Amino acid sequence: MATPPKPAGRPGRRPLDELRGATRLAVEATRGVTDLVEAMQQGITGGTPVVGGPLAAVTRLLNKPIFGSIRGVTGLVGAGIDAALAPLSRLLAPTQAEASDELAALLAAVNGVLGDYLEQTGNPLAIPLRLRHGGRVLEPDREALVRDVPTATGKIVVLVHGSCMNDRQWLRRGHDHGAALARDLGFTPVYLHYNSGLHVSTNGRAFAEALAALLAAWPCAIERLVILGHSMGGLVARSACLVAEAEGHAWRRQLDALVGLGTPHHGAPLERGGSWIDLLLGATRYSAPLARLGKIRSAGVTDLRFGYVHDEHWEGRDRFAHGVDLRGAMTLPEGVRCYAIAATRGTTPGDRLPGDGLVPVDSALGRHADPARALDFPEAHQWIGYGMDHLDLLDRAEVYATIRGWLAPPEDLSQPPARDSNSP
């Protein structure tokens, strides 16, 4: 597969701004919380990071050197933070004008955990919602699109990343579902980049509006529109469909297919476990102060408890309060071919299916004990990947073959998909 162009930096965002944003976040913390988090991490893990995969670098960044720098930065309060950082500006520009993949991953993780707070306080670390192609932010202007998407076709696939991730992370182990669909089926891939710490419905509304503006300016007639969402991205896509229906966006009528990869349609136990921890830590006066740490979870994360996609699911409620699922009846977008892919660490269909480490199989397939909440994916539109975890859904060859099979015209199915050099 051809090497994708190096992503361009976010327009209007300078590396020095990002440093100032990180500094403000550090200053607004306290030395006591920093010491506590470091002590807890060392006490639980013996100093060994427990996060693997693409977030391993983020975990390493949050070990001793960063804890030490946070303590140092907090000591600069009242001494002029900008003055202390000013000498760094010469080092950051122009060589660091483009954010590295590592910095992009760190920013995405910080936004996933604290993104609502960053947005509310105007912190420059907050990621603005953008649609991108080839690493470039796409402006809803026909001339700009002709320039930035010279190979645009009438077949568009929009890829929506998951919590704590970014649009660059669709590329994993040399494979990118969007690039592969462009190569095999002639789709033009467009990637959503968003602050996953905001409420799912907040991102859904912004996504719906951004997609409406982009497609209104698209340089050629639209033949097919497909949305592919990984994890939280599938919830954001469903939420956007609800907004588009309510507001009459043209793209909702053009939407042909919606594919969810490991989407927690009915929530993820990991977040519900966090809710239980909040409750248990607050049970005694000795552990109550620690319960405040449990509230360092963004609105986006708490939406994953039950798979909230409507404003009404969370408005006027304490999102940290222990409670039951208050969602009403749930449906899939009418007139759209909807598909669901789940992963499980189990290796055979006869095994008890434990899920992919984050999302249970039933949740990813929309199954629910309450028929009113069950999402009725047709049997032929469901697929389970065995011996896989949550992130394997991004690059496993059999996952892509399933997606391609669902999206390909019947006459194309006689040709096997091209194989990426780094695919397993």
pTM of the model: 0.75
Average pLDDT over every residue of 265-283: 63
CA atoms within 13 A on the CB side of 160: 31
pLDDT of 141 higher than 60? yes
- With b meaning 16 or more CB within 10 Å and e meaning fewer, what string describes 106-125? bbbbbbbbbbbbbbeeebbb
Give domain 130-267+327-412's CATH number out of 3.40.50.1820, 1.10.287.3510, 3.30.420.130, 3.40.50.1110: 3.40.50.1820
Element (H, E) at 385: strand 382-386
Q: pLDDT at position 321, please?
A: 66
Beta-carbon contacts of 229 under 8 Å, excluding residues fewer than 6 positions away, are 159, 160, 162, 235, 236, 237, 238, 258, 259, 260, 261, 263
Between 192 and 298, the more confident residue is 192
Residue-wise pLDDT tens digits, 337-357: 999 999 998 887 766 677 888
Average pLDDT over every residue of 152-170: 95
- pLDDT bin (cut points 50, 70, 90) of residue 230 is very high
The sign of the dihedral angle between the CA atoms of 249, 253, 256, 259 is positive
**What is the overall mean pLDDT for the chain?**
75
8 A C-beta contact, residue 330 and residue 373: yes
Q: pLDDT at position 46, please?
A: 45
Q: pLDDT at position 413, please?
A: 46
Residue-wise pLDDT tens digits, 80-124: 433 433 443 343 333 333 557 766 776 787 788 778 887 887 777
Q: pLDDT at position 348, please?
A: 77
Domain boundaries, the chain: 15-101, 130-267+327-412
Strand 337-344 vs strand 255-261: parallel, antiparallel, or unpaired? parallel
- pLDDT bin (cut points 50, 70, 90) of residue 32 is very low
Q: pLDDT at position 11, please?
A: 45
Beta-carbon contacts of 8 under 8 Å, excluding residues fewer than 6 positions away, are 98, 135, 136, 137
Strand order in the sheet with 155-160: 136-137, 130-133, 188-193, 155-160, 224-230, 255-261, 337-344, 382-386
Average pLDDT over every residue of 243-260: 96
What share of the chain in percent tops pLDDT 70? 62
Element (H, E) at 339: strand 337-344
In this structure, how many other beta carbons lie within 10 angstroms of the beta carbon of residue 292? 12
CA angle, 241 then 243 then 246, to 5°: 110
Coil, strand or helix: which one is 382?
A: strand
